[in-house]
Amino acid sequence: MGDLKTYEQLLRENAELSRRLEEATDTIDAIRTGQVDALVVNDAKAGHQLYTLKTADHSYRLFIEKMNEGAVTLNEDGIILYANSRFASMLDATLSDIVGKVFESFVSDDCQPEFKDAFGMAWNKDMQIEVKICRDSDAVPCQLSLAVLQLDEGLSLSVIVTNLTFQKRIQGLLKENNERLTIANGELEASNHDLQQFASIASHDLQEPLRKILIFSNMIRDRHAKELPPESRKYLDKIISSSQRMRSMASDILNYSSLSTSPHAFDEVNLEAIIAEILDDYELLLQERNAEVLVERLPVLEGNRAQIKQVFQNLISNSIKFSRHDQPPVIRIFCTPTNAPSDGPDEVALYHIVVADNGIGFEKQYHERIFSLFERLNNKDQYEGSGIGLSITRKIIERHHGRISAESTPGKGSRFTISLPVKQPMAVA
């Protein structure tokens, strides 16, 4: 009975244990928050020993505790000397469950060979690896950044643990979306190819019946015009006019569809020579309309000669077609100063070629619409054309890695600005 402790003794022992536990808790908190820089430990064999941590200054520990990544310090045997709260939360564990354990025990089996290699090499150089850290229910993909840390007791290894779960999820979504995009692009290319084939075949096959309609209609008009009543002649003229417009539209559709399939062939193009050829082709039309074309100095640039010629044919033709009735057309073609590529490596030096006229112009809200397929701003009976010319023009310019814009004021003319690279990119899409 003499060995039994009294109630008062048990109370005193319990109070002493509570005091020690509270002191230990306060000490741990003080170390983690940087309130102390050293500990004196009374060892029964070795006596009093002083333990300090060179990196355990106040700012460092506050930083480690507040960082979003897990932070672990290992000794040469891979035992965890220190871990922050973030690492503990990543494992759904407490710090007491982690400190003193071998870090390797938290690494998934399939990643342990890679971790062992990195752990061995990290003492000589900084390392980064991706492993899976195990917790109760699953494994967390993490990046480990390993670097040597100098302590009073010797070298230790600092390990910053970054949770890659979110990044892996995003990478998975990106991969899935890229696969969907690849499939969609393939379907779109197939669809575009089919549409181009259809447009080409339809436009080509329309030419022959239209040719016959025009031939026989003109034969009737030329040979039997006097025998036809005035109303029949009027209807016949409408048939011929509509057939001509249909033939022009079919030809333009064929040209537009061919732009998507024809290969790129870029060479040096002398714009002055091209304009001279066009004006020679339009000589009779220019004389008939009493038109004046003023051509200033133009550059030599890289491009497809036939397509660039078509661009300026369309623009000059439009300027003549949409001229005012009260004054002859005046068309001015010039080049503004070339911009230098000063805004970064992706900037390209551009020529800015302007085609300006004094024609009927158009409203501001149509500056973009005029480049749409079959877009017409004027009555087809007054101004002939298919409504495809400017669409072809824009498509050619875009295939030359350039751009075209339009500005106009009704009754005061229009101004088209073409921006083309001095040199075409090496890799042509």
Per-residue pLDDT, averaged over 4-33, amounts to 64
Task: Please say if the pLDDT value at position 62 is more than 70.
Answer: no
The tokens of 399 are what?
């295939």
Rounded to an integer, what distance in angstroms lies between the CA atom of residue 162 and that of residue 158?
13
Lowest mean pLDDT among 114-128, 251-265, 331-345, 376-390: 376-390
- The pLDDT score that the predictor gives to residue 228 is 82
Task: Please say if the pLDDT value at position 35 is more than 60.
Answer: no
Architecture of domain 174-262: Orthogonal Bundle (1.10)
Q: Looking only at Cα atoms, what is the longest distance across the chain?
A: 148
Q: Is pLDDT larger for residue 260 or for residue 136? A: 136
- The pLDDT score that the predictor gives to residue 218 is 85
Nearest CA among 359, 355, 357 for reference residue 298: 355
Dihedral (CA of 98, 144, 141, 131) sign: negative
- The pLDDT score that the predictor gives to residue 12 is 73
Nearest CA among 119, 102, 100, 106 for reference residue 159: 119
CATH class of 67-163: alpha beta
Q: Is pLDDT larger for residue 304 or for residue 263? A: 304
- The pLDDT score that the predictor gives to residue 56 is 46
Rounded to an integer, what distance in angstroms lies between the CA atom of residue 309 and that of residue 110?
65
Per-residue pLDDT, averaged over 40-52, amounts to 52
Per-residue pLDDT, averaged over 148-174, amounts to 81
**Beta strands 80-83 and 70-74, pairing class:** antiparallel
- The pLDDT score that the predictor gives to residue 231 is 86
pLDDT digits (tens, 9 = 90+) for 418-427: 999 888 876 4
Q: What band does 333 get if pLDDT is binned at 50, 70 and 90?
A: very high
**DSSP characters for 181-204?**
HHHHHHHHHHHHHHHHHHHHHHHH
Lowest mean pLDDT among 15-19, 55-59, 115-119, 258-262: 55-59
Nearest CA among 234, 172, 247, 174 for reference residue 204: 247
pLDDT digits (tens, 9 = 90+) for 83-117: 888 888 888 888 888 888 889 989 988 898 999 99
Rounded to an integer, what distance in angstroms lies between the CA atom of residue 145 and that of residue 88?
17
Element (H, E) at 289: helix 283-289
Q: Is pLDDT larger for residue 92 or for residue 255? A: 92
Q: What band does 135 get if pLDDT is binned at 50, 70 and 90?
A: confident
Lowest mean pLDDT among 37-46, 240-249, 327-336: 37-46
Rounded to an integer, what distance in angstroms lies between the CA atom of residue 81 and that of residue 103?
10
- The pLDDT score that the predictor gives to residue 293 is 92
Give the chain's mean pLDDT: 77
Task: Please say if the pLDDT value at position 240 is more than 70.
Answer: yes
- The pLDDT score that the predictor gives to residue 197 is 64
Task: Please say if the pLDDT value at position 340 is more than 80.
Answer: no
Per-residue pLDDT, averaged over 256-270, amounts to 68
Per-residue pLDDT, averaged over 4-18, amounts to 69
- The pLDDT score that the predictor gives to residue 353 is 93
SS3 of 346, please? coil
- The pLDDT score that the predictor gives to residue 347 is 62
The domain made up of 264-429 has a fold known as Heat Shock Protein 90 (3.30.565)
Nearest CA among 199, 304, 214, 205 for reference residue 257: 199
- The pLDDT score that the predictor gives to residue 354 is 94
Which residue shows structure tokens 């038109």? 291
- The pLDDT score that the predictor gives to residue 260 is 57
Task: Please say if the pLDDT value at position 381 is more than 50.
Answer: no
Domain range list for the chain: 1-55, 67-163, 174-262, 264-429
Per-residue pLDDT, averaged over 212-232, amounts to 84
- The pLDDT score that the predictor gives to residue 427 is 43
Phi–psi pair at 147, nearest 5 degrees? -150, 150
Task: Please say if the pLDDT value at position 234 is more than 70.
Answer: yes
Task: Please say if the pLDDT value at position 345 is more than 70.
Answer: no
Q: Is pLDDT larger for residue 160 or for residue 8? A: 160
Task: Please say if the pLDDT value at position 294 is more than 90.
Answer: yes
Task: Please say if the pLDDT value at position 55 is more than 50.
Answer: no
Per-residue pLDDT, averaged over 147-152, amounts to 75
Say how many C-beta atoms besides its own lie within 10 A of residue 24's C-beta.
10
